[in-house]
């Protein structure tokens, strides 16, 4: 009788908590910098993640999911994205979608120039990050929140119309990071994911080219796509590695040179290794080095896996 009563009580509790899930969940909130505009990443492995807007997006969240699967991390990944939008858009239009269920972790970011109408002004980011954080904590007590600081845009640096014209390519990333630090402090968010600084590090170490407008140096990666604004496949891959390392605490280098998604997206083993190292160096701090098993010299075995 006691066992039966316990089972019934457990069932009633489960039924009384709609929207709960068995495993941890990660939600990504952002724009084209998350859904991978301008690259093959946009619709990559869309069947492995849940697009809350039903637009068939895979994007960086699908890369994160792939890395997690290869590392043996069981996680449910969802995304809510809209091109050209800051957090103000999601607050005004998407809270019903975002708030339908609780989340374990949320990664979010605002507009790339901080404010579409007032480039370089952090005020809107600071205010809206706090509003979104308050909403998410109210819906999901104990949720872990992360703000993602985005990259320098070449089109905002080199053309005369750019908001960062005349400054070094890494200046925008530094300013954006400073704004995200301010927003995180105001919202009580402990960690900012340093994607923009990882882009800068890749340039400073000679892995990536600094100026796509004058051509790409031989042997270097172009982190931007054709519009010199959004990321290239390589850029989104680096973004996903940095997010993966920060959110999971795993060393991205442990994914190895035969990492599955890099192979599927056409990156060379040298590029995969170099970008994993950049992500590790940028994250800093202790990361768990749990290796992913790949047969030496072989096609990654997990590349055919779809979950």
What would the two tokens of residue 218 be? Answer: 């031989």
**CB distance 39 to 232 below 8 Å:** yes
Percent of the chain with pLDDT over 90: 85
pLDDT, one tens digit per residue, over 179-204 is: 999 999 999 999 999 999 999 999 99
Distance CA 277, CA 253 (A): 6
Average pLDDT over residues 130-143: 97
Q: What is the rounded radius of gyration, in angstroms, for the C-alpha atoms of the chain?
A: 20
pLDDT of residue 125: 98
Q: How confident is the model at residue 68 (pLDDT cuts 50, 70, 90)?
A: very high
pLDDT in tens, 12-57: 333 333 333 346 999 999 999 999 999 999 999 999 999 999 999 9
Binning pLDDT at 50, 70 and 90, where does residue 290 land? confident
Exposure string of 210-223, with b = 16+ CB inside 10 Å and e = fewer, is: bbbeeeeeeeebbb
- Contact partners, residue 242, CB within 8 Å, separation at least 6: 193, 194, 195, 198, 252, 279, 282, 283
Per the CB < 8 A criterion, the answer to whether 48 and 62 are in contact is yes
Q: What is the pLDDT of residue 268?
A: 98
- 166: left (phi > 0), else alpha (psi -120 to 50), else beta? left
pLDDT tens digit sequence for 279-289: 999 999 788 88
Measured CA to CA, the distance from residue 40 to residue 42 in angstroms comes to 6
Beta-carbon contacts of residue 152 (< 8 Å; ≥ 6 apart): 164, 169, 170, 171, 172, 173, 176, 196, 199, 200
Collapsing DSSP to helix, strand or coil, 15 comes out as: helix
Separation between Cα atoms, residue 306 and residue 103, nearest integer Å? 23
pLDDT band at 303 (very low <50, low <70, confident <90, very high): low
Question: Could you give the domains of the chain?
Answer: 22-304 (3.40.50.1110)
Q: What is the pLDDT of residue 262?
A: 98
Which tens digit of pLDDT belongs to each residue from 146-185? 999 999 999 999 999 999 999 999 999 999 999 999 999 9
Beta bridge partners of 105: 26, 144
- Nearest CA-CA partner of 21 in 98, 74, 97: 74
Tell me the C-alpha distance between 186 and 290, whole Å: 35
Q: Which pLDDT belongs to residue 296?
A: 44
10, pLDDT greater than 80: no
Tell me the pLDDT band of 126, cut-offs 50, 70 and 90. Answer: very high
Quick check: 179 and 114 in contact, CB under 8 A?
A: yes
Residue 60 has pLDDT above 90, yes or no: yes
The Cα–Cα gap between 273 and 302 comes to 18
Encode pLDDT of 70-117 as tens digits. 999 999 999 999 999 999 999 999 999 999 999 999 999 999 999 999
Band the pLDDT of 293: cuts 50, 70, 90.
Answer: low
At 208, phi and psi to the nearest 5? Answer: -120, 155
Residue 222 has pLDDT above 60, yes or no: yes
- Size (the chain), residues: 307
């Amino acid at each position: 009788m006691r066992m039966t009563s316990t089972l019934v009580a457990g069932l009633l509790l489960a039924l009384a908590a709609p929207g709960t899930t068995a495993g941890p969940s990660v939600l990504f909130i952002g724009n084209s910098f998350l859904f991978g505009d301008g690259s093959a990443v946009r619709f990559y492995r869309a069947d492995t993640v849940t697009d809350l807007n039903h637009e068939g997006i895979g994007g960086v969240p699908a890369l994160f999911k792939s890395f997690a699967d290869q590392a043996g991390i069981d996680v449910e990944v969802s995304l809510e994205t809209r091109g050209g939008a800051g957090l103000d858009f999601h607050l005004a239009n998407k809270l019903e979608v975002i708030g339908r269920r609780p989340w374990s972790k949320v990664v979010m970011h605002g507009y790339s120039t901080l404010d579409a109408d007032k480039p370089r002004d952090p005020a809107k980011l600071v205010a809206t990050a706090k509003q979104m954080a308050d909403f998410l904590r109210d819906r999901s007590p104990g949720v872990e929140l992360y703000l993602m600081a985005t990259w320098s845009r070449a089109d905002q640096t080199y053309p005369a119309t750019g908001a960062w014209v005349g400054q070094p390519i890494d200046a925008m990333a530094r300013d954006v990071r400073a704004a995200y630090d301010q927003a995180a402090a105001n919202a009580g968010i402990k960690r900012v994911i340093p994607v923009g600084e990882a882009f800068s590090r890749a340039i400073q170490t000679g892995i990536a080219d600094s100026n796509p407008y004058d051509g790409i140096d031989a042997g270097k990666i172009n982190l931007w796509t054709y519009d010199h604004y959004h990321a290239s496949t390589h850029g989104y891959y680096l973004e996903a590695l940095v997010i993966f390392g920060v959110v999971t605490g795993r060393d991205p280098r442990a994914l190895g040179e035969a990492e599955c998604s890099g192979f599927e997206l056409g990156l060379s083993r040298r590029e995969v290794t170099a970008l994993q190292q950049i992500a590790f160096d940028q994250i800093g701090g202790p990361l768990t080095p749990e290796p992913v098993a790949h047969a030496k010299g072989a096609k990654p075995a997990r590349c055919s896996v779809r979950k």
